[in-house]
Structure formats: structure tokens, C-alpha cells
Chains A and B, each alone.
Chain A
Amino acid sequence: MSSLILQGVSYHYSATQVLHNLDLTVGKDEIVCLLGASGCGKTTTLKAIAGLIETNQGSIFIDGKLVSDEQSFVSPEHRNIGMMFQDYALFPHLTVADNIAFGLNKTNKEQKRARVDEMLKLVHLTGCAKRFPHQLSGGQQQRVAIARALAYKPSLLLLDEPFSNIDTQVRFELIADIRRIIKTQQVSAVFVTHSKEEAFAFSDTLAIMHRGKIAQQGSPEALFAMPKSKEVAEFLGQGIYLDAQALTATEYNTAFGVVKSQVAHTHKTKNGQLYIRPHQIELACKNCDENGQAITILSRRFIGSAYVYSVVIAEQEIEVAAQYGQSFEKNEQVIIKIKPHTVNFFES
């Protein structure tokens, strides 16, 4: 049974349509990331799931139970979910222990204390029980936040950009920690962020959001390799578009030669564009008896391990890394080769 199902959810605020017929599924114990640019509706989706806003159309099921549709509505306090926030949202007037115990409604003092201790141990903050939030670091506060959110065993955890305010040095360490904690607690999660690095590190599945709809949902690798739309492709990484014609199921003709695909595709039309990522482009020196279209190196930048070179291909600027051992100068002419890969062909 899925932990969360959104079907055809729509929501508008004043004259703006924020969510547009949105579908989303979260499986049991799955961490799904809602990834998208600012303003695409990610936080609104979270609020809709939590019941903090009421949708205009569509249904929401949590753990198989209907919590929202056009006729009925379950208020937030009855949905048994946990939330985490960018600003931690710890209650400043309560101690760490009291914060964690806040959601434990139907238990007595003994049980509360035991559960709090349990959670503190889980997040490695035993001994901080009597402290106040302002006495903790950002990372510690976020740990308390997750302890608090999980204390009452919610069936679903919602995380709204919880790592944005964490120091970059400790961020990925915290991400790994919290992912581990969630997995041990056997709870599903919906995680919202605009950073794809965080998304890749934290989630099982990605759902790319674009203008109030889910553009594509799947594993990070699948989305990266086989984006279904240009928006998804562009969001997940830099690239350029090359006009191309499909020759066969695995070969495409472009201005830079024939590009071979490692996977067969069927095409409805033969004309379209290929989306090529930087690591799929090879630079070769012009005079090293290679044939192909020449382009000029605009500039180069040292990134520690090598140089990356700025070039213009098909009127789009892109940075390409050199192969090991290669080195080019500014204004040098080079040849572009496109390596075989699982191509992304977008038909016209």
C-alpha cells in the first residue's frame, strides 16, 4: 500500500493557478524528492498534503485513507504526519525534551520521558534534554526537529528545504545522518528542495516539478539519463541542443558527425534535437589527424583537478572538461566528438 497518493490535485490562490492536476505517489518507506525551481509549487504541495491548505480539486490519500477531496477534509492535526522546516521551527520557549514530547498526546509522563530519551539517543543528542534551542547549533537543532517529528510515529514525514540553512561543510554529513535515521524508523518521506545535489544524496525517487505539475518521477539515474521533457533535462544538468535527424534506431546525424546511442529508440518523426551533456563531449586537437567541425576555445578555467574549457557549440556556450592528459590554449581550434551514450532525443 502506498504511503501517499495525490490524484489530480489542483489549487489556486487569488488568480494564480499554483497546482495543476498534480499526481504523485510515495511508496511504503520510500523517500521521494520534489525537485523544482523556486515558485513551481513545491511548498504548496507539502502544505496540501499536510492539510494546511485546502485544495480545489483532486484527492489525497495517506496510508490508504482519504484525507482530502472535494467533499471531505481531514484537518492537519488528525493526519498523523511529521514536518521539518528550513528554519527548524523549534519552540523557543520549550526545552529540547519538551519540544520532542510536544506531539506525544496520548501518553503519560513516564511514557513520554522514555520516548524522548529514545529519540535523543537516535539523533545522538543524549544530554541535551534540558537545553533550549537557541543554545544549539543549526545541525543540532535540525536533529531535534527530526526527533520531534518522528517521536509520535507518523506515517509520513514532510521536509521543506530543511538543509538550506545548514553550513555547507556539515550539510552532506547531516543529510546522510538524517536519511539513515528515517530509514531505521520505517517512515516514508516527501522531501522538497531546489538543489539537485541534495536531491541526489537524500532521496530514493525524484519527482521533478514544473509549473504546478509533476513532469517526471523516477530514480535519479533514470531521470538523469532519460529525461522525458526538455524541462527535466535542463533542470538536472547543463547541456546543449543539437539539431539532429534519426538515421536508425541507434544513430543520429548532426553537424558534428553521427552520434551513436547505446539504447534503441523508436521515433515518430525523424527530426528533432539531441540534448548533449558536457561529459558526453570530447575535445580533440585539430591537427591530430581527426576530421570534424572545428570550434574555438573561448577561455579556460582551472578547477583543481583539471581545466574546463568554455566553447560555443551550435550557438550555445558550454563548459567541457578535457580528457586526462589533454591541454588546450585559449583561441586554439579544436574538434568536437560526441561519445556514444543513452541519447536524449526530443522530437520536433
Chain B
Amino acid sequence: MNSQFKLSKWQLFAWATGLILSAPLFFLLLESLQGDSEVFSHLWDTVLWDYILNTVLLVVGVSVLSCVIALPLGWLTAYCHFPGKKQFEWALMLPLAMPTYIIAYVYTDLLDYAGPVQIALREWFGWQSPNDYWFFDIRTLPGAIVMIALVLYPYLFLIFKTALREQSFKLVQASQLMGLSPWQSFFRVSLVLSRGAIVAALALISMETMADFATVSYFAVSTLTTAVYDTWFGYYSLTAAAKISGVMLLLLFLALMAERFSRRKQAVFERQSGVNSESLYILKGKSAWLATLFCSAILILAFIIPITVLLSYAITYFDKAWNAAFFSYAWQSLKVAAIVSVATIVLSIFVVFYQRVAKQTYPLIPGRLASTGYALPGTVLAIAVLLPLTLVENSINTALEPYNLDIGLLLTGSILTIILAYVVRFYAIAHGAIESSFVRISPSLDMASQSMGKSLGQTLRLVHLPLLRRGLLTAALLVFIECMKELPAALLLRPFNFESLATHVFQYVSDEQLELASISALFIVIVGFIPLYFINRSMEQRS
């Protein structure tokens, strides 16, 4: 049958992508099922439950705090007029460009015993020693929650704001007529309607939180991620590390199930007429200033203070920090990020297209498989990727032996490993962005194109791709930022003489000498602005 054969081409590619990108996860799970549970049992009897508790508290804490920050911000910017609103709309996204370990370090420096804040307080009040007063210690679990939430809330902010925009403001107005105050309509109308979007954003935030390593290790908060690290390199037990990874993945799975379950109950809403700018709440007097104050406070805490501190370091320590090798670090980071962005986009176009045109019963599976890598934190990912790659490499070399050839470490010894690891990890981002763009294209366009003599491939090229342009750009930029910031996998997988901006920064942060890497850190943040600008603009244009 002609068409069945043609579809096989797409099917083959989609399934190949799905299987290859999920292979690391399976290898990891296999490894974790190996014997030798001695180390794991020991941990189970001693510290594992504390790790689990800390991880759960961290994730829940970050989720709650992100809601407290992002939901009001989203509501204010979507439905109200107040001084500075237009600037806040995009400025509140900026913290996303900042890696968590940088913001963590900056605040530790500021709020430490020997930091400017406490020194000023002591001078002011005449206290002499730590026993004279109480000041909160930032290097604790609550401190980590605050740091991570300050960096990740923009995900929720953006998604919630967009969801609100896509709901009809008329619903809020109707609730006004029924006597609800703005507060009440926020809780009983907007929040409820956006439940699906909120839960999706929180799922994303939870995954990022669980994957964080740099901040929690710096703050000496023991979570499952740090446990993976410790177990692999402390106990030298890959199996135990893999088992702990398994526990993490289980938690993640539960969280994702909860997310999916809550979405199931929500009807699919067609995009209704957007917000008419004249019909927004116009805040006056005290409420206006309160809104501005709240937005400013978050912006200052999450972005302005850290960037100012970074700038001051860069200026003060310029001589020591400026490294002629800086350009090579930047080049490495940019090169890797660019290749990975392109690769993930190309792959996800084909996989999502397959989902669209497939007639088989489970077209969603390849895409879901390929997206599993997102759940793996950097350190775990590094192990997971090395497992199959080494296998492949060894097999190739064994096959070539009779010919006296070998490819050496062509795979694992080059940046190919990092690129593959990043593609595995960040594929999900590209897939999600492209999937939501694809879904907006009516299926009748496909049917029209086909009836007019165009094959599936031509339809993809002539009809879908032009319409997906904005989605592609958004996807590429999102993946780009993540690659620039990524750290643990790069540390473990890098080939000789490979130094990226992130690895360079981290090396100094972990020695409490961020000043010396401040220029690289600034560069990471600045490069992170570019995609943010485009994402925000595309969101604006859509609504």
C-alpha cells in the first residue's frame, strides 16, 4: 500500500529518535537493577530518608514560593494597568537568564556574617558577636528554596500570564457583575481556569529544582541529587547512584502523574477573544503603588541586586578576572549551544510531524520517549549517556579490530558526548514548544494541501514550516539558554582542553572566588537576555 510505506519513513525516524534519546534512561535503570545493593541498603538505613525529605521539602517549597511570587505578578500584568506595567512585563522574565549558583553565591556573600548587611547592622546596633543577635542563615534549606524560587518563578509567571490572556477577560467582568471583588475573582475564576497551565508550569519548575546541584551543594543541603554525586564518587558505587536516580525518577513520575491527572479534568478551551486593553482594571492610588512596589521588590531581589554585585566584581577585579581565554570559553559555549538548538529543533519537527500524520494507534509514544531525558539531572545524565555511548564505541572498535582500525574515543572523547547529552536533556523543551505551535495549525490545511497534489513531505515544507517559524525560533532560543547555563554534565563529559563559560564560573564559585569569574558569569547572563527578549515578544504578538 503506497501511503503506508511512505508513512513508514516518518515512523522509522520518529521511533529511532525516541528510542535513541531514551536509551540513556533505560541503560541507567538497567544499571540500577544490578545486584550489589549493599551500599544502597546502607544508605536506606541511614540517610536516604533525610535526603528524600529534603528533596520533597525543597520541591514543595519552591513550588509554593513560585506561586506566591508569580501568580500575583501574572494577574497584575495581564489584567491591570499600573505605573510601570509595560516595563515590568518583560523585566520580570530576566531572572531566568541567571544560573542559580550565581544568585546563591551573591546572596551568601551579602548576607553572611562578614557580609555588608550584617556588618552594617552590627555597627548600627552596636552588637559585637554572633550571640548578641539573631540573623537568619541563608545557607539552609529555606535559603535554597528562596534562591531557586527567585530564579525559576518566571516560568510560572510567563505561562500564567499567557493563560490569563487567552481566557476571555469577559469572564472576569461577568464575575464582577456577580459581585466578586478583584481578589475573589482572582481566586475563584482566573486561578481555577488556569489550573492546567499552572500545574504544567509547576511540573517544569519541580523538575528543574530536583535537577539543581550547584546551589544545594553550595548551601550544604543534602538532597537526592547531591546523594547521587556522593554515592557515585564517594562510595564509588555506580549501581547505588543509579538506584538513587531511580528513586528521584519515581518522585518525578508521581509529580508528572499528578499534573496529567489534574489536566484530564480540565476541558480544552478554545482561544477566545483576548483582552481588550480598555477593559482592564485600572489601579489607582494606594493599590497602584502597592502593585508597583511588589513588582519592583521581586525584580530587585531576583535580578537587580545580583547583576549589580556581578558588575561590581567585574569592575573591581577586572585585571584578575580578564582572561584572554575568555573568548575561547565563550566560543565553546556558543558553539555547543548552537549545535544543540539546531539538532533538537530538527528532530522535534520530524517527531511532532509524525504525531500529526500517523495513523497507527500510538503515535505519541516516540515523542514521549524522546522527552524522558529532561527528567535526568545533569550528573545523572552524564552517567546515563556514557553507558550506551561507550557500548557503541567499544562495539565499533571490536568490529574494526580485524582490520587493524579503530576509532578510539571518537565518540566519548569529543564534544559529541556533550552534544548528545544536551540533546537528550533538552529535547523535551523543543518538542513542547513545537508541539504547541503545530497544534494551532488546523488539520484541514493538511488535507487541502494533500488534495492539491502535495505529498506529506511537501506539505511539511510548504505549509507547516512557514507557519511554525515563530514557534521554531522560540524553541531554539529556549534550548539555547539552557545549554549556556548547564553545568554538571559539561563538567563530567568534557574532552581535553574544553572549558565553557559555565564550567569556568563554577570552578571559581566552588572555591568561593566568584569575583575572579565574574566576567564569564556576566556574559552568561547577558547572552541569556537575547532569547528572553524574543520569547516575550512572540508571546506579546500572539495575544
Query: Which residues of A are interface residues toward B (Cβ below 8 A)?
Result: 14, 47, 50-54, 72-83, 85-87, 89, 91-93, 102-103, 105, 148-149, 152, 154, 158, 160
Contacts and interface: CB of A to CB of B under 8 A. Distances in A.
Contacts of B448: 83, 85, 89, 91, 148
B9 to A, nearest CB: 13
Nearest to A79: B451
Given A47-B447, A54-B1, 15 more contacts: A50-B447, A51-B450, A54-B3, A54-B4, A75-B2, A76-B450, A77-B450, A80-B453, A83-B447, A85-B448, A89-B444, A91-B449, A92-B467, A149-B452, A154-B451
A102 B452 contact: yes
A73 B451 contact: no
Contact of A77 (B453, B462, B466): B453
Contacts of B452: 77, 82, 102-103, 148-149, 152
A105 B453 contact: yes
Top 7 A-B pairs, shortest CB-CB distance: A103-B452, A89-B444, A85-B444, A76-B450, A89-B448, A83-B451, A93-B466
B284 interface: no
5 contacts: A89-B445, A89-B447, A89-B448, A103-B452, A149-B451
B184 interface: no
B358 interface: no
B471 to A, nearest CB: 13
Main secondary structure of the interface of A (DSSP, over half): loop
B3 A50 contact: no
Given A52-B447, A74-B2, A85-B448, A93 B467 contact: yes
A283 B410 CA distance: 95
A87 B442 contact: yes
B365 interface: no
Nearest to B451: A83
A102 B462 CA distance: 10
B6 interface: yes
A101 to B, nearest CB: 10
B463 interface: yes
Interface in B318-375: 359, 361
B454 interface: yes
Given A51-B3, A73-B2, A75-B6, A81 B451 contact: yes
Contacts of A87: 442, 444
A76 B442 contact: no
A85 B6 contact: no
Nearest to B450: A76
B390 interface: no
Given A50-B447, A87-B444, A89-B445, A77 B359 contact: no
B436 interface: no
A149 B3 CA distance: 22
B455 interface: yes
Contacts of B2: 73-75
